[in-house]
Structure 1
Amino acid sequence: MEATRTKSSILSIQSLVIKFTLRGQVLTAIRDISLELYQGESLAIVGESGSGKSVLVKSIMGLLDKNGSIEQGQIFYNDRDLAQFTTEREWLQIRGKEIAMVTQDPMTSLNPLKTIGKQIEECVVLHQGLKGKAAYEETLKYLTDVGIYDVEKRYKQYPHEFSGGMRQRIVIAIALACHPKILICDEPTTALDVTIQAQILQLLKNLQQKYGLTTVYITHDLGVVAKVADRIAVMYAGDVIEVGATHEVFFNGQHPYTWALISSLPQLGLKGQQLYSIKGTPPNLFKAIKGDAFAPRNPFALKIDYEERPPFFQVSNTHYARTWLLDPRAPKVELPETLLAFFEEGRQHANDA
Structure 2
Amino acid sequence: MEATQTKSTILSIHNLVIKFKLRGKVLTAIRDISLNLYKGESLAIVGESGSGKSVLVKSIMGLLDKNGFIDHGAIIYNDEDLAHFQTEKDWLKIRGKEVAMVTQDPMTSLNPLKTVGKQIEECVILHQGLRGKAAYEKTLQYLKDVGIYDVEKRYKQYPHEFSGGMRQRIVIAIAIACKPKILICDEPTTALDVTIQAQILQLLKNLQQQYGLTTIYITHDLGVVAKVADRIAVMYAGEIIEVGQSHEVFFNGKHPYTWALLSSLPQLGTKGEELYSIKGTPPNLFKDIKGDAFAPRNPYALNIDYEERPPFFKVSETHYAKTWLLHPKAPKVEPPHNLQAFFEEGRHYTYE
Q: What range describes the TM-score normalised by the shorter chain of this pair?
A: over 0.9
- Work out whether residues 5 and 12 of structure 1, in 8 Å CA contact, stay in contact via their aligned partners in 2: no
- Work out whether residues 201 and 228 of structure 2, in 8 Å CA contact, stay in contact via their aligned partners in 1: yes
1:206-245 equivalences under 5 Å are 206-245=206-245
* Partner residue, 2:134: 134
**Secondary structure of 1:74's aligned partner:** strand
Superposition CA RMSD, Å:
1.1
CA distance in 2, matches of 1:93, 1:250: 37
Q: Please state if 1:187 is matched with 2:162.
A: no
CA shift for structure 1 position 336: 2.4
* Partner residue, 2:149: 149
Aligned residues: 352
CA distance in 2, matches of 1:351, 1:89: 49
CA shift for structure 1 position 271: 1.2
CA shift for structure 1 position 334: 3.0
CA distance in 2, matches of 1:17, 1:6: 28
CA distance in 1, matches of 2:224, 2:76: 28
Deviates more, 1:107-116 or 1:3-12: 3-12
CA distance in 2, matches of 1:44, 1:57: 11
Q: Please state if 1:32 is matched with 2:32.
A: yes
**Secondary structure of 1:315's aligned partner:** strand
Q: What is the letter of the counterpart of residue 234 of structure 1?
A: V
1:8-47 equivalences under 5 Å are 8-47=8-47
* Partner residue, 2:198: 198
Q: Report the TM-score when normalising by structure 2.
A: 0.99
1:1-353 equivalences under 5 Å are 1-2=1-2, 8-352=8-352
CA distance in 2, matches of 1:277, 1:91: 40
CA shift for structure 1 position 20: 0.1
- Work out whether residues 3 and 34 of structure 1, in 8 Å CA contact, stay in contact via their aligned partners in 2: no
CA shift for structure 1 position 351: 2.6
CA distance in 2, matches of 1:169, 1:69: 32
Q: What is the letter of the counterpart of residue 315 of structure 1?
A: V
**CA separation of 1:288/1:197 partners in 2, compared to 1, >3 Å: closer, same or farther?**
same
CA distance in 1, matches of 2:193, 2:28: 34
Cα deviation, 1:183-220, whole Å, max 9, x if unaligned, reads 00000000000000000000000000000000000000
- Work out whether residues 14 and 33 of structure 1, in 8 Å CA contact, stay in contact via their aligned partners in 2: yes
CA shift for structure 1 position 138: 0.4
CA shift for structure 1 position 6: 8.9
Consecutive unaligned residues of structure 1, counting only runs of 5 or more, are none
- Work out whether residues 234 and 241 of structure 1, in 8 Å CA contact, stay in contact via their aligned partners in 2: yes
CA shift for structure 1 position 272: 1.2
CA distance in 2, matches of 1:324, 1:317: 19
**Secondary structure of 1:31's aligned partner:** strand
Cα deviation, 1:149-202, whole Å, max 9, x if unaligned, reads 000000000000000000000000000000000000000000000000000000
Q: What is the letter of the counterpart of residue 172 of structure 1?
A: I
CA distance in 2, matches of 1:131, 1:339: 56
